[in-house]
């Protein structure tokens, strides 16, 4: 696995109507500007690394990274006012989505820490993964976003399960989905006010239903 991780890199995000493999392509080609032929291989280079002037929607902004994961700015932040936050946390190797057996447990803690560096009030943080049929990319990505002000009661209505550790999220989400009879589902994770995290699954897009995923939403 370590040898595979050395080969991959991630940053940037997909534009509307683009290939479902954009994030995976970014993971594999765009994280290390020192790589040979970086500007020829990466279609979403990090700002200032290549000669051409690229718009925000064609550049990568890395928020945090380690050997296993990377957090980047989502394209939905382009053109938004200061204070709007939408990031993506991804593994630095190919994983198709929540249904993939290779999905890493540690990505949730990495994502939470990356979100906390941008959203100071942890009660506002939401980590979400969309269902397979409602996602636009086939590289696992956790959205790092703000919970809508009126969304907590609606998440509570899903009767969320509790996770004491972020490394338990996939297991807890799977049990929650089974209890609701869901075979394909999205996941939302928010802070529990009395400790730990609340985990809920939904057949709809948690990003669209419960979070400020776009400017003004």
Domain CATH for 78:
3.30.428.30
Three-state secondary structure of the chain = CHHHHHHCCCCCCCCCCCCCCHHHHHHHHCCCCCCCCHHHHCCCCECCCCCCCCCHHHCECEEEECCCEEEEECHHHCCCCCCCCCEEEEECCCCCCCCCCCCCCCHHHHHHHHHHCCCCCHHHEEEEECCHHHCCCCCCCEEEEEECCCCHHHHHCCCCEEECCHHHHHHHHHHHHHHCCCCCCEEEEEECCCCCEEEEEECCCHHHHHECCCCCC
- In total, how many domains does the chain have? 1
Per residue in 184-212, pLDDT (tens digit) is 999 999 999 999 999 999 999 999 999 99
* Residue 25, domain member (yes or no): no
* Residue 175, domain member (yes or no): yes
168-190 mean pLDDT? 97
Residue 156 pLDDT grade (very low, low, confident, very high; cuts 50, 70, 90): very high
Question: What's the confidence (pLDDT) of residue 48?
Answer: 85
Residue 47 pLDDT grade (very low, low, confident, very high; cuts 50, 70, 90): confident
56-84 mean pLDDT? 95
Question: What's the confidence (pLDDT) of residue 179?
Answer: 97
6-11 mean pLDDT? 32
Which pTM was predicted?
0.89
Question: What's the confidence (pLDDT) of residue 216?
Answer: 65
* Straight-line distance from the first to the last Cα atom of the chain, in angstroms, rounded to the nearest whole number: 39
**Chain centroid, CA 155 distance in Å:** 19
CA–CA distance, 173 with 198 (Å, rounded to integer) = 10
CA–CA distance, 112 with 61 (Å, rounded to integer) = 18
Q: What is the extent of the structural domain holding 90?
A: 63-210
* Residue 138, domain member (yes or no): yes
Measure Cα distances from 80 to 26, 73, 83, 215 in Å: 22, 12, 8, 6
* Residue 46, domain member (yes or no): no
pLDDT, the chain, mean: 90
* Residue 170, domain member (yes or no): yes
What is the total residue count of the chain? 217
* Residue 3, domain member (yes or no): no
CA–CA distance, 154 with 204 (Å, rounded to integer) = 13
* Residue 28, domain member (yes or no): no
Question: What's the confidence (pLDDT) of residue 138?
Answer: 93
């Amino acid at each position: 696995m370590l040898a595979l991780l050395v080969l991959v890199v991630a940053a940037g995000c997909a534009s509307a109507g683009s290939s479902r493999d954009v994030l995976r392509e970014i993971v594999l080609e765009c994280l290390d500007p020192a790589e040979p032929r970086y500007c020829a291989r990466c279609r979403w280079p990090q700002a200032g690394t290549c000669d051409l002037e690229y718009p925000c929607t064609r550049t990568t902004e890395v928020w945090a990274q380690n050997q296993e994961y990377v957090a980047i700015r989502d394209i939905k932040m382009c053109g938004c006012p200061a204070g709007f936050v939408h990031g993506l946390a991804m593994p630095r190797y190919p994983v198709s989505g929540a249904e993939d057996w290779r999905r890493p447990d540690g990505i949730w803690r990495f994502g939470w820490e990356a979100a906390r560096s941008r959203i100071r009030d942890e009660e506002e943080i939401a980590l979400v993964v969309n269902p397979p049929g409602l996602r636009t990319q086939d590289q696992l990505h956790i959205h790092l976003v703000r919970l809508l002000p009126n969304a907590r009661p609606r998440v509570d209505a899903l009767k969320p399960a509790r996770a004491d550790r972020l490394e338990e999220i996939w297991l807890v989400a799977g049990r929650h989905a089974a209890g609701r009879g869901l075979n394909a589902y999205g996941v939302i994770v928010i802070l529990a006010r009395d400790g730990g995290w609340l985990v809920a699954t939904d057949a709809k897009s948690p990003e669209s239903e419960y979070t400020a995923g776009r400017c003004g939403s």
